[in-house]
Amino acid sequence: MNGFWNWLGNHEAYGVWLEAIALVAIFAWDRIDAYWSHKQTVAQIKLTQDQITLSQNAERAWLLTELAWGTGNLKVALGTSKERDKPTVEHTTVTVMLTCRNEGRSPAFVDKIAGYVEIVDSVRNLTPLANHKMAEVTPLGPIAPNKSGARSLQFSCTGQVTNEQLLSIFVTVEYRDIFEQRRYTNCGYTVTDFNLYRQDGLPERNKFT
C-alpha cells in the first residue's frame, strides 16, 4: 500500500487525472440516480392522478337524456307570422318533453339546456352542429342520484314540414358534478309520422362526457 502512495507522489499528474475521473464518475452517477428518481416520482404522481380520476368517475354524476311527446295534443304545429310590411313567414313548432335521469352517485347541477329543430329531406342532410344557432330554455334544478327531472321544450324553425320531409331535433344539456367538472350530454331525434326515433347512428348527436 505504501508503494502505491509513493508511486502517486512521484506521479502527481496521474493522481490529478484519477481524481478528475472519480469526480466525473460521481457526477454521472448522481445524474443517473436523479433521472431514475424523477421517473419514479412522475410515475407515482401519474398513478395518484389515475386513482383520483377513477375515484371521481365512480362518484360522479352521470346525466342521461331522452325525448318523448308530452301529455298534450300539441306536438307539431304549422303556422305563419307577419311583421308590418314584411312578407309572411311560415314556421314549424315542435313541443317535446325532455327527461334527464342521473345514473351517477352524486347530484348533477344543470346549468344549461339548449337545442333546435330543423326540416330536412334526409338525416344525411342535417346541418352540422357547429353551424346551427341553438335556443336556450330554463334549466332544471339539481338532480339527485337515481332521480329524474323533466322539462317541456318548444323549438321552432322557418318553413312548414311536408309529408315527404323529416323533423330533426337536437338537445344538449350542460351540467356540473360535485367535483366541479363541466360535463354535457346530447340527444338527437327524428320525427317521422309523429313518431320520435333516436338518431343512434349519429354519435356526435348522442354524445356525453
pTM score, whole prediction: 0.73
The phi and psi torsions of 36 (rounded to 5 degrees) equal -70, -35
Q: What is the pLDDT along the chain (209 residues), one digit of tens a residue?
A: 555 556 555 555 555 666 667 777 777 777 776 767 666 666 665 655 544 454 446 688 999 999 999 887 779 999 998 888 889 999 999 999 999 999 999 999 999 999 999 999 988 889 888 888 899 998 888 999 999 999 999 999 999 999 889 999 999 999 998 888 899 999 999 998 889 999 999 999 999 88
Range of the domain at 11: 2-59
Q: Are residues 144 and 169 in the same domain?
A: yes
Contact residues for 88 (Cβ-Cβ < 8 A; gap 6+): 80, 81, 82
Can you tell me the distance from the alpha carbon of 185 to that of 141, in angstroms, rounded to the nearest whole number? 16
C-alpha pair distances (Å), 148 with each of 24, 65, 72, 77, 132: 68, 9, 20, 28, 28
Q: Does 84 share its domain with 184?
A: yes
The C-alpha cell of 86 is what? 314584411
**Does 178 lie in the same domain as 96?**
yes
Are residues 11 and 87 part of one domain?
no
